[in-house]
Amino acid sequence: MEWFKQLKDTDPEIFDAIKSELGRQRDGLEMIPSENFTSIAVMQASGSVLTNKYSEGYPGKRYYGGNQFIDVVESTARERAKKVFGVPYANVQPYSGSPANLAVYMAVCKPGDVIMGQNLSDGGHLTHGFKGSVTGQIFKSVPYHVRPDGYIDLDEVKRLAEENKPVLIWAGITAYTREVPFEEFAKIADSVGAYLAADISHISGLVIGGVHKSPAKYAHIITTTTHKTLRGPRGAMIMVTEKGLQKDPELGEKIDKTIIPGMQGGPHNHTTAGIAIALLEASRPEFKEYAKQIVANSRALAAQLSARGIKLVTGGTDNHMILIDLTPFGKGNGLLVQEALDAAGMTVNKNTIPNDPSSPFYPSGIRLGTPALTTRGMKEGEMKEVGDMIADVISEVKGYQLPGKEERVEYIRKFKGEIASNRRLAEVRSRVLELCKRFPLYPELELP
């Protein structure tokens, strides 16, 4: 593409970094469940002239002139979001998921109000009231947890709601591998008069594809990022359901005002265009098949890992995500396994597990998923191969054990050096490269 030639001529240093990143993505298995590969069309829109325009306000009500075409883009994105999710209201301007969730708080809560969300180490998100997040500092957070089997403890949710009378309850996940029980959450929220907000950032593509229950009938508010299973650019949306408007007919207007002028300035129009394109792609029949394949791949990968003796939180998965429990090999080894898999060409992320005996910085779990692998065209047969490679890497490094705090820095440095020259990991890396060549990424994208 001519644009890339201009980029190379203008800034060869940045060009080389982009080219190297493309090579990394092409030659490795991207398995962080919150990541995916957009279409070329989404990337083209996200790098378009729309980035040049200031558009504070909303379609037909801008603070600046010259927004007649931006209005078309944003209105199109909003209408497509309403259609695919079956809701009457959508705001497509949030810069990312965290500001979108904060906007929900500011629209329905006052500082000091009681809120409830899934505990972070139990699979919830920072913005659902974690103590280290502003959401756990501005509001009185009462977290709920999972049962010993790893499933959400709905009895505890009900008890805590009755005891604390929250204004807002979050039903949403970031490291939970089972279907979110929106209907049960709704009964609890309704019984105490709370707003129910469904954060479907991870599963929005699965909801559209019909392989995860939609929260539209049960929640008052829905938030989602747009770059995970939805396969769009890095942005976010807030939606209000019919149930939400019945509870408060002005809820949509309150959220609009919270975004602008309350929290943000000009929207990222190039991202809005990318969101619109991703929503169009998600409305097509082939996307439903894609969503089904994500889950089929996830279950196949989980089954192979289990067959190889790898312990999984909840024993499996209902969605796109798998959470590996590494405690049979010691505590706090998530970082070591993440580094070893990265050396073998497989990108995952270390993650806490329920009742983790270690810390978030050195957790005892690994989180991985299948959206990006599915985008490349891989299916159940390839998941068996991937599962074997992951198990081989874990087996190779299971003898390592993270030491105490005083010795960790030196131990990790030495560990990285050893795995860089490990013959078994090099052999797995070769298998990864061979698999990637069978499923090329962006073959139409040629950089000079």
Choice among 8, 35, 54, 411 that is catalytic: 54
The reply to whether 58 belongs to the active site is no
**In 53-179, which residue ranges form alpha helices assigned H by DSSP?**
68-85, 97-108, 135-138, 154-164
The reply to whether 289 belongs to the active site is no
Residue 425: which of 344, 351, 324 has the closest Cα?
344
**What SS3 string covers 91-116?**
ECCCCCHHHHHHHHHHHHCCCCCEEE
**In 376-422, which residue ranges form alpha helices assigned H by DSSP?**
380-397, 405-420
Rounded to an integer, what distance in angstroms lies between the CA atom of residue 351 and that of residue 34? 13
Choice among 234, 243, 350, 376 that is catalytic: 234
The reply to whether 54 belongs to the active site is yes
Choice among 199, 325, 356, 382 that is catalytic: 199
Rounded to an integer, what distance in angstroms lies between the CA atom of residue 144 and that of residue 156? 7
Choice among 38, 223, 224, 225 that is catalytic: 225
Find the largest Cα–Cα distance for the chain: 64
Q: Which residues contact 214 (CB under 8 A, 6 or more apart)?
A: 85, 86, 182, 207
Q: Are 376 and 293 in contact (CB under 8 A)?
A: no
The continuous run of DSSP H or E covering 3 comes out as: helix 2-10
Choice among 19, 27, 53, 56 that is catalytic: 56
The reply to whether 423 belongs to the active site is no
For tokens 């190297």, the residue is 20
The reply to whether 416 belongs to the active site is no
Return the ∠ at Cα 210 (arms to 209 and 214), rounded to 5°: 110
The secondary structure of 277-325 as a DSSP string is HHHHHHTSHHHHHHHHHHHHHHHHHHHHHHHTT--BGGGS-SSSEEEEE
Q: Peptide bond preceding 59: is omega within 30 degrees of 0, i.e. cis? A: no
Sign of CA dihedral 27, 316, 349, 13: positive
Rounded to an integer, what distance in angstroms lies between the CA atom of residue 119 and that of residue 137? 15
Choice among 228, 231, 367, 376 that is catalytic: 228
The reply to whether 199 belongs to the active site is yes
Q: Are 364 and 334 in contact (CB under 8 A)?
A: yes
Hey, which residues are catalytic here? 54, 56, 199, 225, 228, 234
